[in-house]
Amino acid sequence: MGTTFGNTARRSRGDDRFFAISSLVMAATVVGGFSTQLAMGRSSFGAPPLIHVHAVVFMGWVAIYVVQTWLAATGERALHRRLGWVAAVWAAAMVVMGIAVTIGMARRGMTPFFFQPAYFVVMNTLSVLFFAGLTIAAIVRRRQPGWHKRLHYCGMAVLLAPAFGRLLPMPLLIPHAGEAVFAALMLFPLAGVIADRRRSGRVHPAWGAGIVTLIAMQVAINALAFGGPGAAFHRAIASGTPGAALDPLAFPPPPGAPLITGRAAAM
């Protein structure tokens, strides 16, 4: 019995260590992606106010995720629970801001030239909705740490897509830039599966649920974007604006000037 308890305790510590370190890797991926954008002159602090609010909200979530993961890993359960309710409200704000910025960019004709406009609006919208779904599932399972941590982790993986969109050579990946970003973010849950297998010889079922959800997200993005709903959605939100000039299912032409987020066609 003592040996079993010791093995369980070691697995729990290994679990906490994996998620704590992974949270830093995820945060570094986000910071690296957006810092690279700024360093290359493709981002500007002169972007519209909505873009700045969006950035604060999404970077705030990254900070909350890192803090929450480390609080759990260091045994600060009470503070972790209190901050968790703040995080729940914050996640709702993320959905609102994510969709608002997507609509704003579509109306201004700011679809990145390596995405079709319909794909861009569907991808961004479904991404934040699936993030919300995984986050809600994690909250519901908050009394089951194995599920709670892994579902939150998969939700966070969804949010890495914009960072990978800035780190990967997106123009060279046309017409499969979206699939390339998805493949990159899937490395994180796959790392979780491998970590589980090495620690205990078993894989927690939450990984299966999370990975299936992420795959369903990508399948839904492709199905809706390249079918009638995606084009209709783009036309509806872009009607009467400069974005209406873009063919929803055609790649926009590359810009004649450097891409600057918030000012020209940029991701």
**pLDDT tens, 2-50?**
444 345 555 667 788 999 999 999 999 999 988 876 656 555 556 778 8
pLDDT value at residue 8: 55
What is the rounded distance in angstroms from the CA atom of residue 53 to the CA atom of residue 111? 19
| pLDDT tens digits, 188-222 | 999 999 999 998 899 999 999 999 999 999 999 99
Domain, as residue range, for 80: 16-245
Residue 208 lies in a domain: yes
Does 254 map to a domain?
no
In a domain, 228, yes or no: yes
Within a domain: 8: no
Residue 164 lies in a domain: yes
Taking 50 as the threshold, does the pLDDT of residue 267 lie above it?
no
Q: And the tokens for 180?
A: 């390339």
SS3 49: helix
pTM here is 0.89
**Predicted confidence band of residue 258 (pLDDT cuts 50, 70, 90):** low
Q: Judge whether 101 lies within some domain.
A: yes
In-domain check, residue 252: no
Name the phi and psi angles at 43, rounded to 5. Answer: -135, 150
Residue 237 lies in a domain: yes
pLDDT at 52: 83
Number of domains observed in the structure of the chain: 1
Please give the full DSSP string across 162-206, using - where no structure is assigned.
HHHHHHS-GGGGTTSHHHHHHHHHTHHHHHHHHHHHHHHSS--HH
End-to-end CA distance of the chain: 55
